[in-house]
Amino acid sequence: MFKTLLNAWKVPDLRKKILYTLMMLFVYRLGAHVPIPGIDVGFVGDAIGNSALLGYMDIFSGGALSSLTVFALGIIPYINASIIMNLLPMAIPALERMVKEGPDGRKKIASITRYLTVVLGLVMAVGILTSLGNSALVEPTLFNKATVVLCLTAGTAFIMWIGEKINEAGIGNGISLIIFISIVSRLPEMFITMFVGTFLGGQLGMTYVTFFAIIVVLLLVVTGITFVDLGERRIPVQYAKRVVGRKMYGGQSTYIPMKINQSGVLPLIFAMTLMQFPAIIIQTFFNESGFANFYETYLAAGSWVYAVIYALLIFFFTFFYTQISFNPVDVSKNIQGNGGFILGIRPGKPTSDYLAKILTRVTLFGALFLAAIASVPTLMKSLSAVAGGIFGATSLLIMVNVSLETTKQIESQLLMRHYKGFLK
């Protein structure tokens, strides 16, 4: 990866894109430290630390939520809007027609997603301020509350703009990089806390065995995620020779790559986000009620009901996004139209059925792997409460997945420019 970055730095166009991406990420991290006026930072920090839901959101905001800065909501409203806009076409025919319109339809969907992001950001800002209560403000006046809500909503819109600008003029996926940098920004503090708690007699009281056990578990999990993310099932395809005019085409062998984890980290993010909806509603409207006590006792994070529902949602989103990204019928038609065939399989419906069967098996393994990774936070928390939060399933997958995808994009850009230094 470091060699790829070094080679990319030598290409002027790529160097500009990398610098632009770094500049936009710096602006994002700078905004995460810009305070909103009238906030009691000490009270907010204690409230965030005592709430499992808000603590989870704080990870994806890079610690901005714990001090309620301008970028405190992070990119979560955009993720929620993306979930809704990916599911609504299944129920609303007008949106389904937009999806099938091609680039123009996707532009319309993206525009609707932006507006929905702002609306959800406004709702989340009101919900968080309501759950924190008047004690979060130095002077709980209506004007101060409106200022906080508008600042949080504007911050969400600005983060979305940063992500889109990175997509247009930078390297990598802007939204993924924003989440990535938010998580990575917490690593130095976490490692310092663990080191002090282990070797300098800090409040954690960690033993040497626990410290090194955490390091070993992290290395094993990251290695497993990397292998699965890079793993793929290759379906060999043979193309028949054909003569067009005086030229001969085809005759070569190739393959169809089926990634084990085609949906990446999206199933975990979407499943986790949906699981947080009930907690947000309860904390906003039914706090300290009998229903809230029932939810915390039997349905909150850590209960077996929560674990089962979470695993089912991971399975659903894994298969859902795999079906969207890989359509066996379309792939079969493309192969047949170009004079190709899978060895031992007849063209047409038998080919699509064969691809669908292989896809189901590969996706099932990917879904089981994601469900297994989702159990990492429980294991990490049993070793250390500090490591359990930052090195949860979603955090680890995002860090590894975004690193690999960004490296692949840089490599593809180098190959497109026929950069010889990359091939040496």
pLDDT in tens, 290-323: 666 776 666 666 667 777 788 888 888 888 888 7
pLDDT band for 154, please (50, 70, 90 cuts). very high
What's 79's domain CATH number? 1.10.3370.10
Q: Is residue 368 part of a domain?
A: no
Q: Is residue 112 part of a domain?
A: yes
Retrieve residue 239's tokens.
């193309």
Confirm whether pTM is higher than 0.95: no
Tens-place pLDDT, residues 401-411: 888 888 888 88
More confident call, 154 vs 213: 154
More confident call, 337 vs 423: 337
DSSP assignment string, 357-373? HHHHHHHHHHHHHHHHH
Residue given tokens 């301008």 in the structure block: 70
Tens-place pLDDT, residues 50-64: 766 676 677 777 777
Tens-place pLDDT, residues 118-146: 998 898 888 888 878 788 888 888 888 89
Per-residue pLDDT, 141: 86
Label the pairing between strands 247-249 and 253-259: unpaired
Residue 249 has pLDDT above 90, yes or no: no
More confident call, 139 vs 199: 139
Retrieve residue 256's tokens.
């169809």
Tens-place pLDDT, residues 383-400: 555 555 555 666 777 788
Label the pairing between strands 242-244 and 232-239: unpaired
Q: Is residue 254 part of a domain?
A: no
Q: Is residue 4 part of a domain?
A: yes
Residue 16 has pLDDT above 70, yes or no: yes
Segments forming the whole domain that contains residue 26: 1-185
Angstrom distance (rounded) from CA 418 to CA 77: 40
Q: Is residue 28 part of a domain?
A: yes
Q: Is residue 304 part of a domain?
A: no
Per-residue pLDDT, 57: 73
Per-residue pLDDT, 333: 85
Per-residue pLDDT, 24: 92
Beta bridge partner(s), residue 242: 249
What is the 8-class DSSP label of residue 39? B
- 72: CB partners within 8 A, 6+ apart: 36, 61, 64, 65, 128, 152, 155
Q: What share of the chain in percent tops pLDDT 90?
A: 8
- Count structural domains, the chain: 1
Q: Across the chain, what does the average pLDDT equal?
A: 78
Q: Is residue 387 part of a domain?
A: no
Beta bridge partner(s), residue 35: 69
Residue 424 has pLDDT above 50, yes or no: no
Percentage helix, strand, coil, to 5, in the chain?
75, 5, 20
pLDDT band for 115, please (50, 70, 90 cuts). very high
User: Which of the residue ranges 81-90, 136-145, 253-262, 284-293 would you say has the lowest mean pLDDT?
Assistant: 284-293
Q: How far, in whole angstroms, is CA 306 from its chain's centroid?
A: 21
Q: Is residue 21 part of a domain?
A: yes
Residue 66 has pLDDT above 70, yes or no: yes
Per-residue pLDDT, 422: 45
Retrieve residue 221's tokens.
């999990």
